[in-house]
Amino acid sequence: MGKKKASAPPPPDPYATAAAQGAANQKAAIAQQELNMVDQYTPYGTVRYQYAGTTGSGNPRYRAVQSLSPTQQKIFDQEQAAKIQYGDIATTQLGNVEDQFRNPIPMNNTREAAYDAIIARNQGQLDRQREKRRTDLINQGFTDPNSQAYRDAFDDIGRQENDFLLAAQREALAQEAQQFSLDAARRNQTLNELQSLLTGTQVQNPNFVNTPQASIGAAPIADSIYSSYQGDVNRFNQEQANRRGFTSGLFNLVGTGAGAAVQKWSDYRLKTDIEFEGTFKDYPVYSYQYIWGGPREVGVLAQEVLEINPDAVVQIGDYYAVDYGRL
């Protein structure tokens, strides 16, 4: 006739709770990834994200596809075709200059030849300068080549000639370096021409911007589950406290009715929302409300008391009442 006595709510399964939280985290991560995959369009090209199936764990996979604009794609195709053609030309030309690059640049005695040419151009002047000094010394009366004055005069001539020879060597070395640079430039000209062929109009790569990164927090499933459980526990504890209050009211009613007739409507047909609370002297005790309203009360059901102690049941009209003084 009455509802079964309420029991404490079962605690949540930690494994099921962890699995639910993990599923929520995974779902949030996938949603965040999809929000951040923003297609981009520029005058030079686009980048778009395409679905590419799933991973081994079942998560979606995407790929970023970059495409050039028609103009940039044409330049790219032309550049690739030109590189192939230039590569063929370069292969042929490199074969032609292979012998050139196998051997070092020849020096060809450039410095010696330049030095000899400088001396040859100036030798007559050197001889005339030496002869003039000899004539001047003779005219001055210095005829002995072994005299100190004679030697001092020609030592000065010798120092001038040595300075001239050193300058001639420096000039010859400079001419040799200049000739080496010219030979190296001619040698590298073929490579420079090939390199210039390989450089031309370059493809303008699209400049993509960093898209705003959206952030989605996973739903706090675990917190919600445990908070809900705690709420259920709190409600259960409150209901138990209420039931203890109802039972205390029953004890007071029985105590008051001891030795006196205390009749109270107890027919289950006059009660609603009946819940079992326990037993009292082998009588099942329930909490309930009367069908006409009022506060929730606690007591027995007349039909059950009739089976245990018929003397405690009184029929009033079509319904039963219980004399609590006889319980």
The structural domains of the chain, with segments of one domain joined by +, span: 35-68, 76-198, 258-327
- What confidence score (pLDDT) does residue 205 get? 63
As a whole number of angstroms, the distance between CA 20 and CA 176 comes to 85
The pair of structure tokens assigned to 132 is 């003039």
* Residue 99 confidence (pLDDT): 64
Q: What is the pLDDT of residue 288?
A: 93
- Spell out, as residue ranges, where the chain has pLDDT lower than 70: 1-6, 94-108, 190-191, 193-218, 239-262
Take residue 41 and report the two structure tokens written for it: 């369009």
pLDDT reported for residue 68: 92
Measured between alpha carbons, how far apart are the two ends of the chain, in Å? Answer: 20
- What pLDDT is attached to residue 274? 94
| pLDDT digit string, tens, across residues 148-196 | 888 888 888 888 888 888 888 898 888 888 878 887 777 777 667 656 6
Residue labelled with tokens 């020096």: 107
pLDDT at 201: 47
Backbone angles phi, psi at 67, to 5 degrees: -130, 140
